[in-house]
Amino acid sequence: MTRPSVPLGDLMKRAGFLLPRSVLLRLRGARDLGLGLWYRGRGRWCPVCGWSSRRFRPGGTVARQDAKCPRCGALERHRFIWLYLAQRTDLFDGRPKRVLHVAPEQCFERRLKDRLGAGYLTADLRDPHVMERMDITGIRYPDESFDVIYCSHVLEHVPDDRRAMREFHRVLKPSGWAILLVPITLDRTFEDPTIVRPADRLRVFGQKDHVRRYGPDYVDRLQNAGFKVQVTRVSDMIAADEAARMGISRTGAIYHCTKA
Ligand SMILES: [Zn+2]
């Protein structure tokens, strides 16, 4: 069976900044239901939306096979992050929390808003659909404002990522925690601020709007910003057969930051 072509998805991506939020959500809902039904089956299960499918859709900036949940759009890392949030944090314990979600992923945003209520804040530098425009290198909130900060695959776009990390540390409450994730694609972090042309950034950093590639020494940057970092790998949490059923790469890791 061949994959259905979904011109609606491409159209929505381009028009997403122009359409009213309510229209966009309705279109997305119809698309996701249709894709979910098309892919319905038994081989894969998504822990974010609970949908079973015969396989996942191709997904990712450089498309990977069997990557994206057809029902909610969650990629491999999203499925692991959701399990981690549910099983290893107090995020869903029902107690009120002030939660900052930077550059919210579509597959998480509505679910988190529904579960976290009034304390949930989405923020982004450019996306007009978030609750608040925010430059994470200059967060306009007082010290110790948030119980939880979640920011995934953003810092690799930020020229002064160390400053953003210090800002996250500043606005996090002493008892709070932050999940700050980046793609780890090298043995050691590499950046070169003289590389600015999109084509050069694509060639060197893997994406035209990335400004560096991170290595495992990413942890050192977080620690230098004042965080205590606990790294949890997929293999620490999920058996191999379960990870395969959920389409989660065994090499993924969560960087859980608290105030040292
Ligand atoms: Zn899903």
> pLDDT tens digit string along 122-176?
999 999 889 999 999 999 999 999 999 999 999 999 999 999 999 999 999 999 9
pLDDT digits (tens, 9 = 90+) for 67-103: 999 999 999 999 999 999 999 999 999 999 999 999 9
Q: How far is the CA of 74 from the centre of ligand 1 (A)?
A: 5
Structural domain of residue 103, as residue ranges? Answer: 77-259
Same domain, 64 and 118: no
State pTM to two decimals. Answer: 0.87
Q: What is the pLDDT of residue 11?
A: 56
Same domain, 29 and 124: no
Q: How far is the CA of 188 from the centre of ligand 1 (A)?
A: 33
For 156-236, where are the E strands, in sequence order? 172-181, 190-191, 212-213, 227-233
Same domain, 51 and 124: no
Q: What is the mean pLDDT of residues 171-184?
A: 97
Write out the H or E segment, with its range, that includes residue 86. Answer: helix 76-88
The CB density around residue 130, as the number of other CB atoms within 10 Å, is: 18
Please check the confidence at residue 251 and state whether its pLDDT lies above 50: yes
Residue 33 located in a structural domain: yes
Q: How far is the CA of 71 from the centre of ligand 1 (A)?
A: 5
Half-sphere exposure of residue 37: CA atoms within 13 angstroms, side-chain side = 5
Sorting pLDDT into bands at 50, 70 and 90, what band is 17?
A: low
Overall domain count for the chain: 2
